A and B are shown apart, each in its own frame.
Chain A
Amino acid sequence: MALTPSFIGVQIFNGLVWGMVLGLIALGLSVIFGMLDVVNFAQGTMYTIGAYCGYSIILSFVFLLGSGQGGLCVALVVAPLVVALLSIIIEVYLLRPIYSWGHVYHIMLTFGLALIGTEVVRLIYGSTPMSFPTPGIFKGVVSVGSIYYPKYRLFVFVLTVVILAIVWLFLDRTKYGTIVRAGIEDAEMVNILGINIKRLFSLVFGFGAALSGVAGVLGGPILGSIQPDIGEHMGIYTFIIVVMGGLGSLSGAIVGAILLGLVKSVMEMIWAPASNVTMFILMAVILVIRPQGLMGKR
């Protein structure tokens, strides 16, 4: 295939869009690990729940109003809130009692929750993949010369950049963000300073999961359809990202996500069948050269 500048440009942008969606999930995972020291294997399932919530909301709008347009806006608010609420309940009643037990138990619990979450979604919605509609206002392509690009993917890129900017501003410029960052550095010190660390943990866990929920709503029209095990695929990509970027590093999550998206899209130009396995090879190389990840601390 001819590697024209327009083809390369579009392909790289595809990688960036995909990377940004994954970056939301990875950021959530990094925040949770950084603050709570919990490797959340259910992060991919939070994506699934967010996607199905979003799907249900958009379809309700189509059924009631004849159009799914307003549905996306509502879904982007409601679906993450639902995911956050569910996650807070899980944190309070299931995770909190076992924080001191160690990573193995955290992994077993969150892995089990991932399986349960997938099967509950399957019970409610069935195994049949559901087509996720693209909102009417974002249907179609933008054409610049010989380049065609879907409007929806442009919207997703812009929105994820805005969301990440808001998250960064919150963490960097607000009092509560400072508390979260301090908690990531040293949760015990934050506790000693009189801050309600239990409430903070719950809110951070909910926040991290909510980012996955947002990704689920945004990613639905990109993938075209959703099925109960979509979270497993996204979870695998997410773990590659955080390992590459550095577990617990917020900037590492974003850098890792962009890197993964670009590597995948570049390999698709060179040799598409190797696009998935290349991500694992890259992860292994980074682990060998820099075990703490690109932005992680030793």
Chain B
Amino acid sequence: MKPTKSALKSVGIFCICLVTLLFVFRLSEGMAEDKVVISLIEDLSGAWAVEGGVWGRGIAMAVEDVGGKVLGKPVEVVTRDDELKPDVAVRKFREVVEQYHPVVVISGSMSAVQLAMQQVAAETKTLFWTGGWADDLTRAGTVNRYTFRWTANDYAKANSSIPFFIEKNPKVKTFYHITSDYVWGRGMFDAGKQVIEKMGGKVVGNILTPLAEVDYSGAVTAALSANADAVVLNQYGNPLVKCARTVHEFGLKNKSKILLPGCSLDLIRGIGAEALEGMFAGQDWYHTVDNKFSREFVSRYVKKYKESPSYVVMIAYMSAKLTLDAIKRTGSTDPNKVICALEGYKYEGPTGPETIQGFDHQVNKKWLLGVGKSPKEMKDPDDFLTIIGGLARFETHQENPVVWNLTLPCDKK
């Protein structure tokens, strides 16, 4: 049977469309190859949105450091909202990898989201800097060789801040915890409990609060009733702001010392100086740290954004900076070469000397502890904390026996 004119016309149009699509696809791939893309996937609309907005600033400053270019190619930052949901984060991760082939994906929302994204990093062979705190992110059995972390994990937080806290409060013997019921909260409680008991203290209770909790009066009332010497708030994001304010509202500070294992400046602004006064808050870094690196960074940031940077900004900055520096050192965006350049790398960082541990990709650095100032003591609107010290206590390879299931050329050295 002879093809009709209309059938031929249809086939012809189809072929033209197909060729056009292939051309456009190849063109867009070519365009992607002409740039170095950093992807940020962060919570921009959920319970942690209070920090979500500042991640981009840290990355922008790292890109400025290299003059906006690396290996002669412009650096582009692509941002996506993970809505604080693991399934959304995974989908967005895959999308950016397919569309943009980023050299690195940086993320910092809650640990459950980070754990999901970590798997996609290994699956897509994409470098991944996580801002999550759960120990599992760099622990034997779950960590993969594409994942790196600058922020301290729960083990380090607990082993660095609790001994310091007890040293500053020698009468504290009993602890009560208000814990957010998800991966990180439970992990932070477990890590804290181990350290407290190792130091001769006692955990007299732990109340688990749903992640979507809006009213913390019940949990705080339980803490009041426990009559513990100290209350630990294993909470983060907007829940931490609500919980800390409720602690202040109920006068719990008058009965017990309050410890916030981690609380960024962005969250501290939400809690307020009056509520924070006298509370102890752990910090990855604080803007009053007095070393050359920190002073220069803070000066640039304040000039640009008219406010002091939180440690969240620093996590984003260091994640991007270390990656871009590694790309420059290796002269390549090949993730295998970049990983080799990062492992074991020592440098002078915002908390002093820092090392990217080769066996688990956790950056070994100081974790700081601060205590809330009274509003009258504040010298400027962001002068919330007095930093009383810091320690760097991370797991050794013996304690965390990671064995990589990916062999790289640098392993033969």
Using a CB–CB cutoff of 8 Å, the interface residues on chain A facing chain B are: 1-2, 4, 6-7, 10-11, 14-15, 17-18, 122, 126-131, 133-134, 140-141, 143, 148-150, 152-153, 221-225, 227, 229-230, 233-234, 264-265, 268-269, 272-273, 275-276
Contacts and interface: CB of A to CB of B under 8 A. Distances in A.
Nearest to A151: B249
B392 interface: no
Given A152-B249, A223-B242, A224-B241, A128 B218 contact: no
A141 B251 CA distance: 6
Interface stretch (B92-100, B222-230, B378-386): B222-230
B212 interface: yes
A140 B225 contact: no
B213 to A, nearest CB: 8
B225 A6 contact: yes
Given A6-B225, A14-B217, A18-B215, A131 B250 contact: no
Nearest to A227: B238
Interface residues of B, number: 40
A127 B242 contact: no
B221 A7 contact: yes
A1 B249 contact: no
Interface stretch (B43-51, B167-175, B321-329): B43-51
B53 interface: yes
B207 A1 contact: yes
Contact of B238 (A14, A122, A129, A140): A129
29 contacts: A2-B225, A7-B221, A10-B221, A11-B222, A14-B218, A127-B45, A127-B49, A128-B53, A131-B269, A141-B250, A221-B249, A222-B217, A223-B214, A223-B215, A224-B246, A225-B241, A225-B245, A225-B270, A229-B45, A230-B214, A234-B214, A264-B218, A265-B218, A268-B207, A268-B218, A272-B207, A273-B181, A273-B209, A275-B218
B225 A4 contact: yes
A128 B214 contact: no
B251 A148 contact: yes
Nearest to B208: A273
B205 interface: yes
A265 B44 CA distance: 32
B273 to A, nearest CB: 11
Nearest to A131: B270
A127 B52 contact: yes
Nearest to B178: A272
B242 to A, nearest CB: 4
A66 B269 CA distance: 19
Nearest to B241: A225
A14 B45 contact: no
Contacts of B270: 129-131, 225
A1 B225 contact: yes
B201 interface: no
Contacts of B254: 148
Nearest to B216: A224
B103 interface: no
B278 interface: no
